[in-house]
């Protein structure tokens, strides 16, 4: 496959410079170099070099972490996580070192015990999500509940945190 404007043979990764008749100094096209850099970036990301704080503690070999929302309301912060198929006893919510940690584990096996069964299903895995807590959380009144496959953790704000926030009027300058 050739790009006639640049005189590039994409299948071979070669390019001819209109001036010298060859590619870059090493005989590689800018496209090949770009591809190498993108491959390196994905390898580093996959190795954990670029972990975001919200994903701290999540291990690659575990089940996928649930989709989670962290929302601020006037009186509290609310964390909701999708955990279909898990019961309250399958979920562990902890507070410590200014972190909210949510862990869960699912273990389910279906076996049809017939003379010649052709189906045996297993679903299992664990997840862990850590969130840095904002200032002003009333740690003594945190609650957690599960309903219809949704975990809700209510992190009420302290009275001081509610009072520190005030509206600033914006005027035409």
| Nearest one of 143, 65, 93 to 56, comparing CA atoms | 65
Question: pTM for the whole thing?
Answer: 0.55
**How close are the terminal C-alpha atoms of the chain, in Å?**
60
Helices (H), the chain: 30-46, 159-164
Classify domain 53-164 at the CATH topology level: Immunoglobulin-like (2.60.40)
The model's pLDDT over 160-170, given as tens digits with 9 standing for 90+, comes to: 887 776 778 99
Q: Bigger pLDDT: 152 or 160?
A: 152
Residue 99 has pLDDT above 70, yes or no: yes
Residue 119 has pLDDT above 80, yes or no: no
SS3 8: strand
Domain ranges of the chain: 2-46, 53-164
- pLDDT level of residue 117 (50, 70, 90 thresholds): low
| For range 43-49, the mean pLDDT | 59
The confidence score (pLDDT) of residue 38 equals 85
Residue 115 has pLDDT above 80, yes or no: no
Q: What percent of the chain stands above pLDDT 90?
A: 32
């Amino acid at each position: 496959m050739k790009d006639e404007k640049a005189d590039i043979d994409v299948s071979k990764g070669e390019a001819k410079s209109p001036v010298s008749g060859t590619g870059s100094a090493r005989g590689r096209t800018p496209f090949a170099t770009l591809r190498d850099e993108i491959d390196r970036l994905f390898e580093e990301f996959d190795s954990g070099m670029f972990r975001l704080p919200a994903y701290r503690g999540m291990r690659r070999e575990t089940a996928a972490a649930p989709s989670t929302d962290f929302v601020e309301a006037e009186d509290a912060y609310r964390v909701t996580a999708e955990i279909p198929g898990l019961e309250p006893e399958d979920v562990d919510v902890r507070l410590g070192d200014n972190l909210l940690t949510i862990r869960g584990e699912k273990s389910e096996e279906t076996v049809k015990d017939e003379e010649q069964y052709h189906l045996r299903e297993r679903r299992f895995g664990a997840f862990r999500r850590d969130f840095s807590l904002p200032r002003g959380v009333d740690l003594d009144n945190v609650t957690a509940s599960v309903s219809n496959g949704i975990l809700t953790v209510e992190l009420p704000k302290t009275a001081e945190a509610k009072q520190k926030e005030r509206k600033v009027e914006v005027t035409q300058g």
